[in-house]
Amino acid sequence: MSDLTKTVSIVAPFFNEGENVDHFQRGLAPLLDRLPGIAFEIICVDDGSSDDTLARLIALARSDHRFKVIELSRNFGKEAALTAGIDHATGDAVIPIDADLQDPPEMIPHMIEAWRNGAEVVLARRSDRSVDPVLKQQTAAWFYRIHNRLSNLKLPENVGDFRLMDRIVVDALKSLTEQQRFMKGLFAWVGFKTVTLDYQRRARASGTSKFSGWKLWNFALEGLTSFTTLPLKVWTYIGVIGALTTGFYAIFIILRTLIVGVDVPGYASLLVAVLFIGSLQLVSIGVLGEYIGRIYMESKRRPTYIVRRRYGGSYAG
């Protein structure tokens, strides 16, 4: 592979990361300057920020021609912003990275080297997540374990969005038109020749994570329902087991009545049984509703994101 005409696109979603814009530029630009033979474009997607993130990004794009800014019309969420960046990337390879640079850009030369050696996807795996809260580490481990048990699509553990993808992989991703997007799953679904590099995750330089516990829960639910229908099948089996158990219990009651007669029923046990079965029904309806809701949203065929304006590079603005 000749690198003289190769371009690498770096894609970073931003949402209320004004404090991190300068840190992002200082951490990334000097490193790229030391990588000869490859041209870089850095696509920063402003996902409807309410602080000065957009203004800082526009100033950055005006001072460094490698930076391009995609302004979305509102906050669509990280998955949509990441999709927008990948859609607008023109490089022969694309590297998504978080704006906080907890995933170290120093890994980029190693990822490019693996790409030069024939890899089509280079995963960056977090071998050490000690900077993350213990609860976040544990819940992430639970998510990967549960997802990989329920789904035929196996997600690589402790691998986020930070990776390198060859243009053939990016084109495959762009052919997937679903609106409800779980990018980690889509990245894994397309496949291709993959190698993995380990790194140590570092602490944020400034600001706080925009993912609350509730958002992380919904994100996990999105992942679980995007690539498996097993939760629906589980309730079929629960229903069959419940029906069989009820049938055997009914036979037991009939035989007991014939042998020893009828006694006074226990209202407490009856109430517990009714509430238990009712709760199972509500949970099963909730699981069914989650899938129906996905069908409803997909049927609208709304765009994943809307671009308000583009800045820097060959864009007007």
Q: How does pLDDT run across 127-143, given as a tens digit for each residue?
A: 766 656 566 666 666 66
Is residue 95 scored above 90 in pLDDT?
Answer: yes
d(CA 132, CA 220): 17
For residues 155 and 140, the answer to whether their CB atoms sit within 8 Å is no
pTM value? 0.69
Phi/psi for 206 (5° steps) reads: -160, 170
Phi, psi dihedral angles at 14 (to 5 degrees): -125, 130
Query: For residue range 4-30, what is the model confidence (pLDDT) as tens digits?
Result: 568 899 999 998 888 888 888 888 888
* Of 151 and 175, more confident: 175
Q: How much of the chain exceeds pLDDT 90, in percent?
A: 11
Cα–Cα distance, 204 to 27 (Å, whole number): 12
8 A C-beta contact, residue 107 and residue 162: yes
- Mean pLDDT of all residues in the chain? 77
CB 110, CB 176: distance < 8 Å: no
Cβ atoms 60, 37 nearer than 8 A = no
- Please name the helix (run of DSSP H) or strand (run of DSSP E) that holds residue 21, with its range, or none: helix 21-33
Domains of the chain are 6-138+155-212+303-311 (3.90.550.10), 230-300 (no CATH)
